[in-house]
């Protein structure tokens, strides 16, 4: 049997903490901390290498009562994964969410986000956005998507996720994650996919798990991500496109009263300093 590998830049832990390095990214960090996907972005369980390997070595797709299930054995115990268990365990709150937006909507909304390379192609490039937009795109790609490489490129499906987040629509991340796990079964490049999430599923289903000594440390973003997002490609104009106002309002509504007052004070200071 082929030995499956971990992907060092897949299903990473997001960095959503403010620091001196995050200056200029406060709004997008607030927005993502206030969004229901924060749990899936930041959950960082202790990952037992053997458990992940057993899961992907024994996993099979089966149809039970008209529903597709992924079934695997870990320590001889059955583990069952469905779209609904993913939604529950990752606290995604995305039932009946969007799968993929119409192409016309994608082109229109990306233009409003300041994307500078609009064409009829359905491959898009992170480098043609201003820093805060690049931050959310990069975080979704490396933390929630099924990708393992080519971080500058993203598909219409990933474009739909960003647009849904920005416009306060639900994107069905649970279905996306489940379907990509199914695809991984017969993929020639099969790998140990969604390691953080798999460990969460196992922790929620299996009791009395054996003691393991081989632990895999999930790759994590660091504060350096902000400097990386500030870098400009040679063909990008440098024009900054602000976040949608609904994103700023949504983030502030989740903040405490004291935090909102602080935001107001800072805004007034910037206004009178001009």
Q: What is the pLDDT of residue 104?
A: 96
CA angle 254, 259, 262 (to 5 degrees): 140
DSSP label at 45?
Answer: P
- How many domains are contained in the chain? 1
Contact 92, 36 (CB under 8 A): yes
- Could you tell me if residue 181 is inside a domain? yes
- CA–CA dist 119, 154 (Å, integer): 14
Contact 226, 41 (CB under 8 A): no
**186 SS3 class:** coil
Reported as a single tens digit per residue, the pLDDT across 167-184 is 999 999 999 999 999 999
Reported as a single tens digit per residue, the pLDDT across 122-155 is 999 999 999 999 999 999 999 999 999 999 999 9
Residue 266 above 90 pLDDT?
A: no
- CA–CA dist 174, 177 (Å, integer): 5
Confidence of residue 264 (pLDDT cuts 50, 70, 90): very low
Confidence of residue 1 (pLDDT cuts 50, 70, 90): low
Residue 57 above 70 pLDDT?
A: yes
Reported as a single tens digit per residue, the pLDDT across 89-124 is 999 999 999 999 999 999 999 999 999 998 889 999
- Could you tell me if residue 162 is inside a domain? yes
pTM: 0.89
- Could you tell me if residue 121 is inside a domain? yes
- Could you tell me if residue 105 is inside a domain? yes
Contact 132, 243 (CB under 8 A): yes
- Could you tell me if residue 9 is inside a domain? no
- Could you tell me if residue 11 is inside a domain? no
| Full residue range of the structural domain in which residue 265 is found | 20-273
- Could you tell me if residue 134 is inside a domain? yes
- Could you tell me if residue 8 is inside a domain? no
């Amino acid at each position: 049997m082929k030995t499956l590998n971990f992907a060092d830049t897949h299903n990473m832990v997001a960095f959503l903490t403010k620091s001196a390095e995050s200056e200029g990214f406060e709004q997008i960090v607030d927005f993502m901390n206030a969004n229901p996907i924060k749990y899936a972005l930041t959950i960082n369980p202790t990952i037992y290498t053997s458990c992940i390997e057993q899961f992907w070595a024994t996993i099979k797709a089966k149809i039970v009562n008209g529903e597709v299930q992924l079934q695997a054995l870990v320590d001889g115990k059955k583990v069952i994964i469905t779209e609904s268990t993913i939604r529950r365990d990752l606290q995604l709150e995305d039932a009946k969410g969007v799968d993929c937006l119409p192409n016309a909507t994608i082109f229109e909304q990306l233009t409003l986000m300041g994307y500078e390379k609009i064409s009829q192609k359905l491959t898009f490039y992170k480098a043609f956005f201003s820093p805060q937009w690049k931050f959310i795109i990069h975080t979704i790609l490396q933390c929630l998507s099924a990708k393992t490489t080519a971080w500058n490129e993203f598909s219409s499906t990933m474009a739909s996720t960003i647009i849904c987040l920005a416009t306060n629509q639900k994107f069905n991340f649970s279905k996306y994650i489940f379907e990509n796990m199914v695809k991984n079964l017969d993929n020639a490049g099969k790998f140990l996919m969604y390691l953080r999430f798999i460990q969460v599923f196992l922790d929620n289903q299996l009791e009395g798990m054996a003691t393991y000594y081989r632990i895999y440390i999930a790759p994590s973003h660091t504060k350096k991500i902000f400097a990386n997002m500030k870098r400009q490609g040679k063909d990008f104009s440098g024009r900054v496109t602000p976040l949608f106002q609904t994103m700023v309002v949504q983030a502030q509504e989740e903040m405490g009263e004291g935090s909102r007052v602080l935001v107001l004070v800072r805004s007034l200071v910037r206004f009178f300093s001009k």
